[in-house]
Structure 1
């Protein structure tokens, strides 16, 4: 298939780097939600199952790098001496990230990016990726070969927002936690892989936990509220091993009006998206009661697998910003468990002007504030404020949640039962007391009485007849004189 460069991606010219064109977002699988949110980009087609995933972010439409897109703040600072990538990362100052760096940059923490793989080439990832693997069956063993035809760059975009190193001390795109380590775990969306998507994610979650992840980022949605039972154990495995799981809420622009799994799983930190003016994004976000926090999801930057910078939209980008902040919190407070890391992030959030309640279906607990989450004073909690998956499983997976009875160490002797009261064993043809008293005797008496009455009546009748009959003459008959 011939790919053209165009309106789907903005290529930013960088110093010392040849300009190369990046593929536009073309139609791929039916639920590639971020792509459908953008003007001029075809909706995806061909989903075959409810669990078919969709990425939750995609490149934004092409626009000038030096002209403001909303009339307020330019996408890239036009000052010739300013680094265009750093200048475009408005979230670094607007959401307290640069201030949080005065305390920590995430050193000693590890973020697992379960996505389409982190490219090997970009200098922004040099020294950042410390391990990886592939569960799609079509990627590289280290998870660094991008998986997919069009969405192959998605994993690199996500990873660059979380922990990109930049191209120099003050140049190139830098991530929220630029000293955190990355795990590149590649999976395939839609028809990219023959391995069931549910199984890919479950295996990837366990691998991430077993290889030291402190934070797991999931920038995709299935557009369904429920999830496969295989995810119960996989997410419980992460929670039980003290891992923070950050999930994108999805995008309205792709038809995701409400959050879908895995963003509906109790215990995950679900991230909604806002624009430059901190208003919930109409295209690059969604709504739902499971949203915990909001972060930028419009006019984001991403490093593609070939090193090119793109501008893109979607909660796929909001999630790794929060994942990076979670890494900053864990680095600054290594004694905190995952429940308290999440609690710090939501309790230190700035109020959202458009919110009608706390939490709100669009904003969750508010707008993420990295510096407040790192330095603020927050009371500790004993439970995950985003819910308890163990309790959910107990209530809704009763058959699976009931523990099997433990075998006894010794045999249990059942005492003999008392003898049952049984009638005497006799022939059923012989009469019993009841049958004699209430059956045979009355029947016999009645029969005898009837016979006697019949005999009396018969005798009386004969007597009457005999009295009425004429008596014969005593004189001899003329005809028979001798008789």
Structure 2
């Protein structure tokens, strides 16, 4: 097998960026060796959780570069889809863009079912269903930000209870169109999951949608459960961590890829959320997320690991007290405070040449000798009083000395 090479580049669209991954060319990994490479299945309690549920009845939207539903590990899994870029297929199953394999890899880690006897990729929730929503990062007739907003709304309207977004805008802020779309999802009890991004791909800090309140943000760790330097970004908005290194996924046309990045960690968490929703169908989004975080294995600083490493078995079986958390309320409050503040902020006047509209700073008159002598203003404000006091003191000294001499003359007599 050839060494891993960087074949999936960061794809910029206006300000939107698909997360990078390191991949092997399709077909270089044999299907019967794939399952053995999925170390996270046992290490993170996923196979143990399958004795409770495999995610049946849950639909997850994968907003990405398209999902090849004809792959042997995904047949029957993709139950719907659309294209919002204007260049993909109507069902979202034709991979598009410069990283066409990205969406299929993501979907396989989330809900792949493998094939044959223990061959191929099996996802965290192998009985969950996928909606394929293809977006074009830098391609298509629609602005990239608008594509995401439209994709989120479409996913909600077509039955998704979880939305996977293995992408980042690479900026802390986001357009107002996302306010409405993401709030629409959260008000419909849909959980949005987003990648933290990868330092190795230029994302030095977590960017939107991973900066948005109410969004589940996924950081990445290596095989030993330690924070990944290249395959994860860090920040205060992290929710949980999952493996982002030495991953393997299914690619378009029946192939397999080795890869790394929070693009791969994100569907592992989305798959776990599907298991939680399937095993606890009465829970709202806030309590589903709380079950995810409350059962995570503590690992270190929250800006590096969030609440910790995912623990699938505990997430579906542990007793977790109910909470009143509401992602929609969190985002709505942020919008109320921040968008209103931005709208009502006093505008800074634009400097012009008009003396009446351009404030002129008041400065002290300068001494003609620069900084050697005090300024005129300083002489006026400080020198005059000192002069008065000096004269008074001089006269006082003369009076005192005169009185003393007179006293001495009288004493000698």
For normalisation by structure 2, the TM-score amounts to 0.79
Deviations 1:72-106 (A, max 9, x none): xxxx9xxxxx9411111000000000000000000
SS of equivalent to 1:158:
helix
The 2-side partners of 1:48 and 1:301 are apart by: 26
Q: Classify 1:387/1:283 alpha carbon distance in 2 versus 1 (closer, same or farther; 3 Å).
A: farther
In the alignment, the residues of structure 2 paired with residue 400 and residue 115 of structure 1 have an alpha-carbon distance, to the nearest angstrom, of 31
Pair 1:371–1:387, CA change in 2 (3 A):
farther
- How far did residue 173 of structure 1 move? 0.9
Q: Secondary structure of 1:350's match?
A: coil
* Deviation by residue 1:230-288 (Cα, 9 ceiling, x = unmatched): 00000000100001111000000012111000000000000000000110001000100
- Which structure 1 segments of 5+ residues have no match? 10-23, 33-46, 67-75, 77-81, 403-483
Structure 1 partner of 2:264: 317
Bigger share in strand: 2
Matched, 1:368 2:310: yes
Deviation at 1:145, TM superposition (A): 0.5
The equivalent position to 1:160 in structure 2, one of 73, 95, 108, is 108
Is the partner of 1:394 in helix, strand or coil?
helix
User: Residue 290 of structure 1 is aligned with which of 237, 251, 266?
Assistant: 237
Which stretches of structure 1, 4 residues or more, deviate above 3 A after TM superposition? Answer: 5-9, 384-387, 399-402
Could you say which residue in structure 2 is the equivalent of 1:178?
126
Deviation of 1:193 after TM superposition, in Å, equals 2.0
Deviations 1:108-136 (A, max 9, x none): 00010000000133111111010000001
| Alpha-carbon distance in 2 for matches of 1:386, 1:210 | 17
Relative to structure 1, is the Cα distance of residues 386 and 264 closer, same or farther in structure 2, using a 3 angstrom cutoff?
farther
Cα deviation, residue 399, structure 1: 7.4
Task: Tell me which protein shows more helix as a share of its residues.
Answer: 2
Give, in angstroms, the shift of residue 179 of structure 1.
0.2
> Partner residue of 1:25?
7
Bigger radius of gyration, 1 or 2? Answer: 1
Aligned mates of 1:252, 1:275 — CA distance in 2? 14
Contact 2:218-2:239 within 8 A present in 1 as well? yes
How many pairs were matched up?
A: 342
TM-score, length of structure 1 as denominator length: 0.68
Does 2:35 correspond to 1:53?
no
Q: Is the 2:49–2:316 Cα contact (8 Å) retained in structure 1?
A: yes
2:57 equivalent in structure 1: 108
Aligned twin of 1:447: none
Q: Which residue of 1 aligns with 2:298?
A: 351
1:255 corresponds in structure 2 to 202
CA apart distance, 1:387? 7.5
Change (3 A) 1:304 1:391: same
